[in-house]
Structure 1
């Protein structure tokens, strides 16, 4: 008859089983993340080294897709378009958000919560709805041109989204309207956490509103500025739905962005390898921007 195991070993076994079960549950989110994010990322990098139409056989081309993306004048122009969108999607909303936060924090009035909610509303609206609304506003017979005609400014009316000069700034103003409320609410929340003793000390030293803003408010919003810059810049780099619904990258290629170029390369002119290369370059660029902003914001 076999000898039963010692009592200590019988007590230790359930603990080991519980530990392995806990490790299994902890590894489950990592497995899902790897399946949903890491595997497609690795496949995209792999596809970027091949010439493939998505159906037939693929052919190894090395770095040719990356060279094409960087040397093609049409695709290279998307970088200049993104720089313009960064000014509208990031720099202008952040400047307006800082100004609004400074004014609202100095002159607190009843109903400010409603005011902040109204400006934050674009953040909870879908991009498709926003694009359709502004497409109607910018139409030749839309409210914007009708308002200009009512003011006797017929010379200023134009097909805003069909004009080679004004199409990109018109899209940029939509981005400003969308991201301004987010920046304002973020900066107001950050300014509310700044100790009032710092403002009192600045006033004792004779600081006016402008000097008080640059000496106390702006340094206190370093973390919020880093978040706003990271999110708004990457949003401008990834802009697709707003451009696609309103202009499809036109007129011509005047509003073409990397995301729209990626979509056209992948689905309209089946060049999956080129599309993957565009996605990899933009992903690396977004990562580098986020790292640089984080490192700069963490400096003393």
Structure 2
């Protein structure tokens, strides 16, 4: 006859009972769709009717697909606008605000975080009006005598991607600055006072104390903003729809375009899986670099 489980065994099992519902929800809404997308990527299917098993052919086709390569390159460019520029500017501004002890910091943090809480569809519509030929940006350039620079910013292949990227910079700046300000607020004031007694200036103080102290926040900010850059869809869809040509197409928009416009569900699923792998690989690399340097 089996003996009843001991009290220790029961106590060890209790935490898993609380985790199990979360695992079930995560599996149902994250893992299962991912597995289904991987399954669809092995078939040629229009989204209805019969499907044909093609194995890895959809992935092989992507290797020679110029539109897909352009989408990947555009996404990498957007990383500069979504992650690198907000991080560099955010570090500088956060350090200035931290050193200057600006009054009303709580109100300022709320204001700079506002782009994060506004729906991106609303943001896209507003910036599309700003970038229009008769929009605020061209009016401002004409008012200061730079009328030669006016153009249809989202309709020009030379400026469309940078214009969309700048919207991403504006959106992500508040999040990055808030993370960095939060990290800097935890630095003991005694470290800064000791550095000033040793004759350290603002620049030396930044690189010796501030920057090493916020490496964790920098890593988090990079992970969040890189993910946002690689999976951006709504901004592109609402502003340019991937155009002109393929100047602003990105992998997430390629998934939508192939699945719903071209009716190539297998190819769209392959793009989604490749995008997932790229996001995972880049963010694992960023996290490991941050952990190694901390």
TM-score of the superposition, structure 2-length normalised?
0.92
CA distance in 2, matches of 1:165, 1:141: 19
**What displacement does 1:182 show?**
0.9
Greater Rg over alpha carbons, structure: 1
**What displacement does 1:205 show?**
2.9
CA distance in 1, matches of 2:261, 2:102: 53
Tell me: CA distance 1:26–1:72, structure 2 relative to 1, closer, same or farther (3 Å): closer
1:218 equivalent among 184, 188, 211: 211
**What displacement does 1:32 show?**
2.2
Q: CA RMSD in A?
A: 2.4
Tell me: CA distance 1:186–1:23, structure 2 relative to 1, closer, same or farther (3 Å): closer
* Residue pairs, 1:262-273, within 5 angstroms: 262-273=255-266
2:194 equivalent among 197, 201, 218: 201
CA distance in 2, matches of 1:193, 1:21: 35
CA distance in 1, matches of 2:175, 2:29: 29
| Alpha carbons 2:226, 2:283 under 8 Å: kept | no
Tell me: CA distance 1:22–1:160, structure 2 relative to 1, closer, same or farther (3 Å): closer
CA distance in 1, matches of 2:40, 2:207: 49
Where does residue 87 of structure 2 map in the other structure?
Answer: 94
Where does residue 79 of structure 1 map in the other structure?
Answer: 72
Tell me: CA distance 1:110–1:39, structure 2 relative to 1, closer, same or farther (3 Å): same
**Is residue 181 from structure 1 mapped to residue 213 from structure 2 by the alignment?**
no
Where does residue 246 of structure 2 map in the other structure?
Answer: 253
**What displacement does 1:62 show?**
1.6
CA distance in 2, matches of 1:198, 1:243: 45
CA distance in 2, matches of 1:175, 1:263: 20
**What displacement does 1:189 show?**
0.5
Number of residue-to-residue matches in the alignment? 291
**What displacement does 1:17 show?**
11
Where does residue 229 of structure 2 map in the other structure?
Answer: 236
**What displacement does 1:35 show?**
1.6
SS at match of 1:109: coil
Tell me: CA distance 1:152–1:291, structure 2 relative to 1, closer, same or farther (3 Å): same
Where does residue 283 of structure 1 map in the other structure?
Answer: 276
* Residue pairs, 1:20-31, within 5 angstroms: 26-31=19-24
CA distance in 1, matches of 2:179, 2:269: 34
Where does residue 144 of structure 2 map in the other structure?
Answer: 151
Where does residue 140 of structure 1 map in the other structure?
Answer: 133
SS at match of 2:50: coil
Deviation string, structure 1 residues 83-132 (Cα, Å, up to 9, x no partner):
21111111001111100111001111322322222211101100000000
CA distance in 2, matches of 1:102, 1:50: 52
**What displacement does 1:30 show?**
1.8
TM-score of the superposition, structure 1-length normalised?
0.90
**Is residue 298 from structure 1 mapped to residue 288 from structure 2 by the alignment?**
no
2:60 equivalent among 55, 58, 67: 67
**What displacement does 1:29 show?**
2.4
CA distance in 2, matches of 1:26, 1:128: 35
Which segments of 5 or more consecutive residues in structure 1 lack a partner in the other structure? Answer: 1-8
